[in-house]
């Protein structure tokens, strides 16, 4: 059995759908999977022209087909439309990466209920809806990869992040159940749990901290990292993309239901 991870045809003829893939971790995932020959369905918010350039450029760079759907991941009907679109365009989704996420920081008693509902919907419930719709095609083919971006906050808590931590812990649990239900098939489900990654979401936290504490952006980055991440370095979208490729490879056929942290030592403390 072929075990190489370096072959650029690992996912040739297969289709990957990556939610929240117009920037940050999701974009890193999409690029890594396209490099392995997968057609990519992008999803996310942003300027329409920039998004079109993004998915067109990646398609040309890696010689794959790409498409985009603007489903709001908090709305089940739009998720259903996106999955139907992927089916019509490419015949179905073989690799599903549930990456879309939002964040809000506040103590429990101050947490706006509408923010709680939105975070649970986008960070947790959306993965249920994409997964339930992707599984029939995967099981019919007896091959599929479901990869949930669960964050180190799927493993440990942090103050003022109740909704995010609850959603990510829930996503780890959902990953395990999905893996168990499909354990005797060629469909695997695993979670990736990154620590700090310098995404637009995290850059905003850095900017806010720099302004609040009257320090430079670099000082704010270092302070943020050293509170939680012993390596003192950000995880990169490219590193996370390489882990996703590993999950898609034959050597990971028996990697099922794991919550794999790539966090610079955060959860080891």
Catalytic residue among 68, 116, 164, 247: 164
Angle at 231 between CA 107 and CA 21, to 5 degrees: 65
- Nearest alpha carbon to residue 199 among 248, 156, 242, 234: 234
Q: Which two tokens stand for residue 189?
A: 């489900």
SS3 assignment for the chain: CCCCCCCCCCCCCCEEEECCCCCHHHHHHHHHHHHCCCEEEEECCCCHHHHHHHHHHHHHHHCCCEEEECCCCCCHHHHHHHHHHHHHHHCCCCEEEECCCCCCCECHHHCCHHHHHHHHHHHHHHHHHHHHHHHHHHHHHCCEEEEEECCHHHCCCCCCEHHHHHHHHHHHHHHHHHHHHCCCCCEEEEEEEECCECCHHHHHHHHHHHHHHCCCHHHHHHHHHHHHCCCCCCECHHHHHHHHHHHHCHHHCCCCCCEEEECCCHHHC
Residue 164 annotated among the catalytic residues of the structure: yes
Q: Any idea which residues carry the catalytic annotation?
A: 164
């Amino acid at each position: 059995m072929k075990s190489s991870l370096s072959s650029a045809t690992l996912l040739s003829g297969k289709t990957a759908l990556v939610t929240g893939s117009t920037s940050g971790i999701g974009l890193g995932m999409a690029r890594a999977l396209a490099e392995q020959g997968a057609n990519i369905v992008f999803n996310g918010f942003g300027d329409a022209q920039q998004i079109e350039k993004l998915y067109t450029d990646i398609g040309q760079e890696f010689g794959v087909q790409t498409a985009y759907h603007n489903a709001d991941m908090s709305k089940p009907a739009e998720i259903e439309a996106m999955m139907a679109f992927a089916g019509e365009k490419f015949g179905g989704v073989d690799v599903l990466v549930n990456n879309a996420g939002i964040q809000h920081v506040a103590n429990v008693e101050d947490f706006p209920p509408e923010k709680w509902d939105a975070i649970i919907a986008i960070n947790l419930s959306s993965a249920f809806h994409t997964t339930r719709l992707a599984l029939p095609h995967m099981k019919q083919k007896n091959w599929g990869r479901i990869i949930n971006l669960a964050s180190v906050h799927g493993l440990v808590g942090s103050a003022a992040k109740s909704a995010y931590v609850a959603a990510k812990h829930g996503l780890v649990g959902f990953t395990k159940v999905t893996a168990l239900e499909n354990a005797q098939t060629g469909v695997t489900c695993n979670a990736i749990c990154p620590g700090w990654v310098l995404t637009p979401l995290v850059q905003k936290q850095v900017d806010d901290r720099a302004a609040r504490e009257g320090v430079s952006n670099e000082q704010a980055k270092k302070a943020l990292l050293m509170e939680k991440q012993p390596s003192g370095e950000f995880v990169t979208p490219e590193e996370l993309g390489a882990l996703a490729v590993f999950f898609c490879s034959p050597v990971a056929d028996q990697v099922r239901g794991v919550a794999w942290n790539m966090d610079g030592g955060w959860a080891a403390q």
